[in-house]
Amino acid sequence: MKETKYDLDQILKILPHRPPFLFVDRVIKLVPDQLIVAEREIRPDEPHFAGHFPGTPIMPGVLITDALAQTSGLLWGFSRIEKGIESSEKPEIFFLAAANMKYTHPASPGDTLRMTSRSDRAFGSLLSYTVEASAGRNLIAKGTLTLAIKDLN
């Protein structure tokens, strides 16, 4: 396993998500304002596997996309921390849009989902990211996401 740059306790200080809707366990790489690599251990006891699908559990694509959005939010949040930008108010980060998402292979319990997000563009409070998720040698999903940051003023 790669070295952990940011652990779950640090992630919880950035993201408002909590289990069972938190889909990032650790950050293993960060290049501020450019790139983040995070991981999620897909566990067999996660509640969505009870119905998706019994006997052949597959992580729903919408949850993989949300995991990628959370990873992108962490790129923004940890970049601010590494640059020394502090705010007394915790910013609100919203998942606004997904474009061109493609799902090429299923992700199942026991997989380690590795999520990569690269910053594309910023339009004021709108941030665009190119994202992909993989498990081992398998590309799971890729596409473009847009997040919105609530005005900090």
Just list the catalytic residues.
52
Closest to 6 in 3D by CA, of 33, 39, 34, 35? 39
Gap between the Cα atoms of 145 and 62, Å rounded: 12
Q: With contact defined as beta carbons under 8 Å apart, do 79 and 32 qualify?
A: yes
Residues pairing with 122 in the sheet: 127
Largest CA-CA distance found in the chain, in angstroms, rounded: 50
